[in-house]
Amino acid sequence: MARAIVNAPAQAKRGEIIEIKTLAAHAMETGFRRTQLGELIPRDIIRRFTCSYNGVEVYRVDLHPAVAANPLIAFTTTATETGTLSFQWVGDNGYSVTEIAPIRVE
């Protein structure tokens, strides 16, 4: 099933600032909601998002329960070289999703 959607350009000029949009499928359960019986629904969120460019971390976000469900994270990075953009989401209960996007830089 679709765990995440990544929108990043497939090619760019060297030095160009590129825009990246990511969407992750995740309920981001806050830990503050209760069932109809009054029991607390345990927290279950994505805790960290990382973007790596040819293995080097270029952008990292620590997420808290205040981030909305199915989180959007949109940011920029500089197109430095041809290679692979790698995106990783890590969270509670062993949640871990990785997506990659190749990029050609002229």
Partner 1 sequence: MTTRREFLVLAAASLAAPTAAKAQLDPNLAAKRKAAYEEALGKVVGGARVRAGRVKLQLPPLIDNGNSVPLSVAVESPMTVADHVKAIHVFTQRNPLPDVVSVHLGPRAGRAGISTRVRLADTQTVVAIAELSDGTFWSDSAEVVVTLSACLEEGLI
Partner 2 sequence: MGVRSRLAPAVACILLGLAAAAEIPPGERRSGYEFMSRETRAIQDDDAGNPGMLWVLDGEALWNRKAGSTSRACADCHGDARTSMKGVAARYPAFDAATRRPVNLEQRVNLCRTARQKAQPLAFESKELLALAAYVARQSRGLPINIAIDARSKPFLDAGSETFHRRQGQLNLACAQCHDDHWSGKLAGSPITQAHPTGYPLYRLEWQGLGSLERRLRGCLTGVRAESYPYGAPELVDLELYLRWRANGMKIETPAVRP
Does residue 10 bind partner 2 (CB under 8 A)?
no
Annotate each residue in 17-36 with x if it binds partner 2 (CB under 8 A) or - if it does not, as one string: ----x-x-x-xx--------
Q: Does 66 bind partner 2 (CB under 8 A)?
A: no
H helix or E strand, kind and range, residue 101:
strand 96-105
d(CA 32, CA 26): 16
User: Least Å distance between CB 47 and partner 1?
Assistant: 11
User: Which residues make Cβ contacts (< 8 Å) with residue 68, sequence separation at least 6?
Assistant: 28
Token look-up 């969270």 returns 91
Which of partner 1, partner 2, none lies near 1, with the C-beta cut-off 5 to 8 A by kind? Answer: partner 2
Question: What distance in Å separates the CA atoms of residue 97 and residue 90, rounded to the nearest whole number?
Answer: 7
Provide the CA 94 distance to its chain's centre, in angstroms.
15
Q: CB of residue 3 vs partner 2: minimum separation in angstroms?
A: 8
Q: Which parts of this chain interact with partner 2 (CB under 8 A)?
A: 1-2, 5, 7, 21, 23, 25, 27-28, 68-70, 72, 74
